Amino acid sequence: MSTYSDCFYCGGAVEEHNLPREVRWQGELFIFENVPLGVCTQCGEKFLKPRVAKSLDRALQGQQKPIRVLQVPVYQYEPDRM
């Protein structure tokens, strides 16, 4: 497990967890599973280490094939009319 500095925003302790990460790139949504993220135990802010961010970038640039493809419904928000 990697070590992280205290949270940049609130000063809380940051612990590493493997979590999903959504990335919007070139107008599309991509989901990465089991990404090692630093998560602040106090405010919940998430942090990526530079090596992890570079790995995600390489995957998005076609150096890795997705394990599956999902279809995601998209809705337009329409406020209730009362």
Task: Give per-residue pLDDT as tens, 50-81.
Answer: 999 999 999 999 888 999 999 989 899 999 87
Give backbone dihedrals phi and psi of 33, rounded to 5 degrees, phi first: -105, 155
- Cα–Cα distance for residue pair 48/21, rounded to 1 Å: 10
**Domain range summary for the chain, segments of one domain joined by +:** 14-63
Helix (H, G, I), strand (E, B) or coil at 51: helix
SS3 46: strand
Q: How confident is the model at residue 7, as a pLDDT?
A: 96
Q: Which residue has the higher pLDDT, 64 or 6?
A: 6
Full 3-state SS string of 10-44: CCCCEEEEEEEEEEEECCEEEEEEEEEEEEECCCC
The residue-averaged pLDDT of 29-58 equals 96
The pLDDT confidence band at residue 19, using thresholds 50, 70 and 90, is: very high
